[in-house]
Amino acid sequence: MSAAAPTARGHGDIRTADRTPRRFPAGSGRYALLAVALFLCVRALGLAALAVRAASTGKSPRVLLSERWDSLWYARVAEHGYAFTLNAPDGRSLSSTAFFPLLPWLERSVHAVSGLSLPAAGLLVSALASVLAAWGIFLVVRHAHGDRAGVVCVVLWAAVPVGIVQSMAYSEALFTALAAWGLLCVLREKWVSAGVLASLAGLTRPVGLAVTAALFLAVWLHHRSGTGTAAPARTRAVLGCLIAPAGAAAYILWVGVRRGHLLGYLDVQSEWGNGFDGGWAFARFLTGGSAALAVIALAALLLLAYWPHHIGARQLQPPPLIAYSALVTVLAVGASGYFGSKPRLLLPAFPLLIPLAVVLTRRRPALTRTVLAALTLGSAVYGAYWLTGSGPP
């Protein structure tokens, strides 16, 4: 039996060698609290740096966090529904239906209950969602690699250069929370719960498809292994798979009805300058428009995207996590929209950080703390200058 288990895992079983009771001692709850506490410390430092930088430039941190770029659009949807359209100077008609509805629905609900302004409600939703995201990330990584790796991965996620977005009235924090908890349900084979969370993720961002794909893959692997042959288990798996794409599908179909044809949402995205070209436009942007250099840049981008997933597979990272982060990465890098937004579009792809988290847990604690402290400081400074400059449109 002991010889057969690694073979099954090596062929894609979603259960890993680390899923034993010894990996989850009674002190695991303290590790979860530590992960969330460290996350809050990293974010507090980032906000403090932003406040200092904003004061020196005469800008308002509150406005930067909740009343510019996408956050302004979400507030408009919360206030006016999808009746708002902006006529751009170049003649394009920019429709608010480009923004998925779950975040503005939550903003409107918090506004109605608390009396907060819509921008403030958006900040509160994102703050709570970011904490839930940190907690969910810890649990997902702990599932595969233990408590210490979970804590380190949460700090890495908080300290990415564009981590300030986690504190903005944007949808990234909400989406990452839904994705992390959805993936946790996938790994624990809670198919219906995973389907519900995937559906809610699909109501938050189009990339919710990645959570649905992870669920489909996990169900397929589970069925192939022969461990889910009982009728109730099959029923729950099928139900979860039916629920998962429903959120995104319902919204896209609703937009299609408003636009007068089934693929109307693609027209909305096209008017915003968004599409999918496999990363070709991004590669040309990076190389100044040269086609020959763009081919090299595109190959380099593919290699960079492949490397963390390859390392994750070698570390026996569960296949659904690899599938999720790979799809998020492909959709972010391969989109032809505004290139400055790509770093924040990669923010939900937290499994990309797991290989580094595992490596750091195997190093001396002093070295790990030094690396994390340096990344935290760099993220705070970068986020403050970035948000008071070009920012994340």
**Token pair recorded at residue 224:** 């192939």
In sequence order, what are the residues at sequence separation of 6 or more whose Cβ sits closer than 8 angstroms to the Cβ of residue 101? 77, 203, 251
Task: Give the least confident one: 211-215, 266-270, 311-315, 349-353.
Answer: 311-315
Beta bridge partners of 87: 93
- pLDDT, position 390: 81
Give 252-270 pLDDT, tens digit per residue. 999 999 988 888 898 898 8
Burial annotation 174-211 (CB, 10 A radius, 16+ → b, else e): bbbbbbbbbbbbbbebbbbbbbbbbbbbbbbbbbbbbb
CA terminus-to-terminus distance, the chain? 54
- pLDDT, position 52: 97
- pLDDT, position 335: 72
For CA atoms 313, 316, 322, 323, the dihedral sign is positive
H-helix or E-strand containing 93? strand 93-95
For residues 368 and 350, give the distance between their C-alpha atoms in angstroms, rounded to a whole number.
19
- pLDDT, position 297: 62
Contact 46, 384 (CB under 8 A): yes
Contact 333, 304 (CB under 8 A): no
What angle (nearest 5°) sits at the alpha carbon of residue 121, between those of residues 178 and 183?
Answer: 5
Residue 201, pLDDT > 60, answer: yes
Contact 182, 211 (CB under 8 A): yes
For residues 140 and 154, give the distance between their C-alpha atoms in angstroms, rounded to a whole number.
10
For residues 159 and 248, give the distance between their C-alpha atoms in angstroms, rounded to a whole number.
30
pLDDT category at 115 given cuts 50, 70, 90 is very high
Cα-atom radius of gyration of the chain, to the nearest Å? 21
- pLDDT, position 301: 62
Backbone angles phi, psi at 95, to 5 degrees: -90, 145
For residues 91 and 342, give the distance between their C-alpha atoms in angstroms, rounded to a whole number.
25
What residue spans of the chain are helical by DSSP H?
4-10, 28-57, 61-66, 69-80, 102-114, 118-145, 147-158, 172-187, 191-202, 209-225, 231-243, 246-259, 264-271, 280-286, 291-314, 319-334, 342-345, 354-361, 365-387
Contact 325, 355 (CB under 8 A): no
Contact 211, 324 (CB under 8 A): yes
Instruction: Select the more confidently predicted residue: 326 or 28.
Output: 326
pLDDT category at 61 given cuts 50, 70, 90 is very high
For residues 6 and 17, give the distance between their C-alpha atoms in angstroms, rounded to a whole number.
7
pTM (two decimals): 0.88
- pLDDT, position 234: 86
